[in-house]
Amino acid sequence: MKRNKLVSTGIALLLAGAGVLTLGACSDDAGPSDAEPPAAVESPADAEAPGAAEESDVAEDLEAAREAILEGIASEGNWEQIMLADDISAPEVKYGMLVMPFFMSDAGSRVTRTVNIEDGDFTITVTSAATGIEWEINQDGTISQVG
């Protein structure tokens, strides 16, 4: 009985391996080498679209996070990092940095929690819960798709 199971398992593994090799060989067909490459197509991620804020379902979260960071920058201290947290109700200093209250809506699934600030410049990224697309906002309020 054990020998039959061993033989069956061996045959199954052999067939699975052969299938993987066959599929790998088929997918490697690149076509003629003298073919002209396709023209480059600019996607929304390549350039900032003028209506990017309207296209992003997390624009309100991005703008609220930006306002929290701007408020932190305007406060006392020369902060190189400001943290956004949903477990506080007022700004406070924790972990050696300023922590600002920020409560993301259900539209977002992830937000940059620690924002690096260099000469007043920063970006904050929020991932859309519905689409998985990452959006970012900079210190000027420009919203664009990441990647």
Both tokens of 23, joined, read 């599929």
| Range with the poorest average pLDDT among 5-9, 33-37, 68-72 | 33-37
- Helices assigned H by DSSP within the chain: 2-27, 52-55, 59-74
Q: Domain segments of the chain: what residues?
A: 52-145
For 77-124, write each residue's pLDDT tens digit.
789 999 999 999 999 998 889 999 999 999 999 999 999 999 999 999
Q: Above 50 in pLDDT, residue 19?
A: no
Residue 143 or residue 12, greater confidence? 143
How is the beta sheet containing 123-128 ordered, strand by strand? 108-111, 123-128, 134-138, 143-145
Length of the chain in residues, anyone? 147
Q: Above 50 in pLDDT, residue 147?
A: yes
From CA 132, how far away is CA 108, in angstroms rounded?
9
Name every residue whose Cβ is closer than 8 Å to that of residue 39 and which is 6 or more positions away in sequence.
Answer: none
- State mean pLDDT over 25-37: 41
From CA 33, how far away is CA 51, in angstroms rounded?
40
The distance of Cα 19 from the centroid of its chain, to the nearest Å, equals 35
Best CA proximity match to 133, nearest among 27, 74, 62, 42: 62
Whole-prediction pTM: 0.63
Contact indicator for 135, 128 with CB cutoff of 8 Å: yes
Percent of the chain with pLDDT over 70: 63
Residue 121 pairs with which residues in a beta bridge? 118
Radius of gyration of the chain (CA): 25
pLDDT of residue 72: 95
pLDDT of residue 11: 52
